[in-house]
Every structure is written in structure tokens, then in C-alpha cells.
Structure 1
Amino acid sequence: MPERSFFGHRVQALDTVFITGASSGIGWALAEYYAARGAVLGVCARRREPLQELCARWPGQLHAYPLDVTDAAAMRAAGEDFIARAGVPDIVIANAGVSVGTLTEHAEDLDTIRRVMDVNFFGMVATFAPFLGGMRRAGAGRLVGIASLAGIRGLPGAEAYSASKAAAISYLESLRLELRGSGVAVVTISPGYIRTPMTATNPFPMPFLLSADAAAPRFARAIARGSSYVVIPWQMALVGKALRVLPNQLYDRLLAGAPRKPRGSG
């Protein structure tokens, strides 16, 4: 398949890609990116209408699966259906995620904390599960997990979100080790601030903010390289490295009073 130009970049055609959280933000932008290069896609999200709109934009290329990624049975059925229609995918992107301000002291936040963990961590596992066996047998492919810079260290007011992304990062690392030598690459992408509905409620400055459309080709290049771990944009990678090495006493002093996402806002 010939090269095409998208977002100003020349890209090679791919065969099959499965993306969760495709109804908006990063997932939507990645679906557009890959569809523009001729890929056949499975797109998954809870909201049916945006998926139908996305399919209408790329007729004949997309298969829509309106479901919740925490429903493992529904995810497996979607995976089996997509494989039957398009074959074992070249790339599976576990992008679905939620971000909600939470505080442990509020009993009413406990269900929200469980939900965040279920979507951001378990949903990633449930996304990969239907495809992993086929990809291992094929000896090829990319399993891509969208983590977050927030998973490097805990952020105030984001106990659930930081914990869920830290869990995702550790899970992806374990999976990468398990699949070493199999031909299946595991790619961890930790974005900084991306302009999406999820970040729209953040009441604080977001340095090096990227639009989802600008972020998508950067994500795709990291996926194509099979990068084991990457922070996007690169400026936030420097921030992440600094956060890792700060002693607790200094980190606490700097971050304890930082602005935070309001409780209950996602």
C-alpha cells in the first residue's frame, strides 16, 4: 500500500489495529491516524454514537465495538469477532482510561476509586487478553499500553489515577519480560498533558500541552519503533526523570500544595 500524508508526516500503510477508548481524545486521533494510512481497525468505547461517526468517516475500514473494557467477556467476544473479520491485529492499543479527582477520606469516593482502577488497569489486561495468544503464535505484533506521567509518583488529589497508572506501568513491564523473544513487543507510552475531554477540567497550568492530533503521530512513531517505554512530549520526559530521583522530603515539600483536579471531575 502506498505512503500517505497525515498531520504533515509520511507514513507506511499497516494492516490491522485495535484501539480502545476510541470515541474521543487520543483514541479518536490514533484511529484517524491509522485509518488514513489504510489500516483496518477495530474501535472500542462505551459510547456508540461517536464510534458510528468514526466509522462513517472511514467506510469499510472500521469495525465498531460499543462496550466497557472492564467487561472481560464482552472484550473477548469483540476480540474474537475482530480476528474473524480482519485477522490477528498488528497493533493493539489499550487506551481507554478515566481520570477523576478522589480523596480516600470520603467514603463516597471508594466506588469511584475502584472504577478508576478497573478501567485504567484491569481494562488494559482485558484488552490484551483476547489477542495475546494469536500474536504470540504469529511471533509478531505490538501490545501498546497508554499509561501516564502521573504513574511515576503519586500526585495529590489523584490517589486513584496515580495508583492505576503506576499499576499499568508495572504490569506492562512484567508483560514485556514475559514476551521477550516471542516477537511480540510491549510498548509503554506515558503521555504528559494532552488536550482531551479528560484534561479539560484541570484547573491548573499544563506545561507542554499537546493536542491529540499532534500527539497521535508521535505515539505512532514510538509504536512503530517498538519502544519499550517513552514519555511524550520529550520535555515531560525530563520532568519525569527529575521526579524519579527527588528525595521524598523534597518531593513532598514541592508537591503537597500543588493544584489538583477537583473531586468528582473527570
Structure 2
Amino acid sequence: MNDKMQMHRLIEQKRIEGADKKPRYGMRKLTIGTVSCLLGFASLLAFTTPNFSQAAESGNTGGGNNSLITGTVPKENKSSSEEGEKLIAPRDVSGELENLKMVISGNTNENATTIHPLRSSAPDDNTTDQEMRYKIAFDIDKNTVKEGDYFDVDLSKNVNLYGSTTKYSDISTKLYIGNDVVAKGVYDVEKHKMRYTFTKNAEKYGRFHQEISEPLFIDPTEVPFDTKDLPVQATIGKHKAEKKVAIDYRVPVAEGEADIDSNSVATLYDINE
């Protein structure tokens, strides 16, 4: 009897202690492993998932008007205007000037054969002049010339465009149609040439005509002494104008004159510093 009572108390005590404990669960390590189970589950989904990409491409998703967008958005096809026009290098259009005419003459007297750089010509003397001039006339079509296109007037080294001013002077000119500047000319003193560059305004007109006239001065560094038959040249592409003149630096002095202009050139050698 005592044994039974003692056993009954022990069971009742264990029951009370067990009621206060919370159940705990754990995963036992099996031979197949947890990773293996996950891989198998993923493989199963791969076989059972429908191919929505193909449905989207064919336009049939089984959802009426609904559509499914998958993957990356395709790149937009941009036109050349959106990407920006390609830069076109300026062209030398010397060979495309139509009806080109060039002439070199005296500045005041067109038929002058002698140039007096240090004095003006006598009013009644049509054979002399103090300086020279080049004249150009041409036609150009707007379909031929674009903004930035140009042509050069190459000059012989015995003349320049700055005369008695410094050679570093800014020598430039503009060509007009009405109030619009269709070309700008800039003198390159080192290369002895005048470059005329067309502006955007030149594209507004159809076929237009231009005439240019620029003074030419005898360069005393290239022609220091009186000279006969000096060839003065101006060239545009394959077109060339030439005029031969005599250069006379002498200044006649009348008896009783107090003001005398003179010109001299000196060459110095063996200068000791």
C-alpha cells in the first residue's frame, strides 16, 4: 500500500512539473541534408512555372487586354537628328566660285605702270600711283557653300595689306548682301593671304554675286630699292592675276622746298655689342 501511494505521488509531481515546461522542437540531421531538400524544391518549381516571357512576346498572356513586361526595356532607336548632326569640316571652295574674275591695278589709276610708295601721283599723270589694289568678282550658289566654307586669296610676298601701319594690325573685312554679313575676311600676315569665310547668312540666299576690292602696298622689306618689272600676284585656287610695275622710291625736290620726305634702307654688318 505504501509503495502504491509513493508511486502515485511521484507521478503527480512529474505531471505538475511537466505542465510548467514549454515544448521545444528541433530538426534532426538526416542523411539527405537540408540543402538537398531546398534544391529539390527549387527544381520542382522550375518545371511547373509557366513561361511568361514567351507569352509576353507573342502578345497572348491569357489575361485579355492585360500585358506582362519582362526583362529590360529595349533601347530607343534615336534618329540622327536626336543624336546630333555630324560635324562637317570646312571646305575650300576656291574651285567652286563661278564667273570668277580677278585683276590687279593701280589704286587710283587702274593703268598705272609705276608705283611711287612715298608720294602720291600727280593729278594729270595716269601712269603712276602710290599703291595698288586687287579686285575680285564671282558668283556662288547656296547649295555649294555652307557656313565655315572658305576661299583664300594668296598674295606675292612683295606686297601686303597693312601698308605704313604695323604688320600686327588687325586687317579684316566683311562681305554683305543688304544688311546681312555673308562672309568675313581676315588677313594672315605670316602666310601672305586673305581668307574669306562664309557665314550662316550665305545659306539663306540662292545664287548671289559678290565683288571684293582690297588695297595692296609695296613691302619695303621685300623690295628695298627701285625696281623695274616687279611682278605683283594674287591667286585663288588655279586662278591667278598678275601685274608688272616699276617701283620708284625717289622723291623729287623742287628748289626752295623746306619739307623733304625721304626714304632709306640700311644694312648693318659686324655690330659689336
Same fold (TM over 0.5): no
Bigger helix fraction: 1
Q: Which has the higher strand share?
A: 2
Q: TM-score, normalised by structure 2?
A: 0.23
TM-score of the superposition, structure 1-length normalised?
0.24
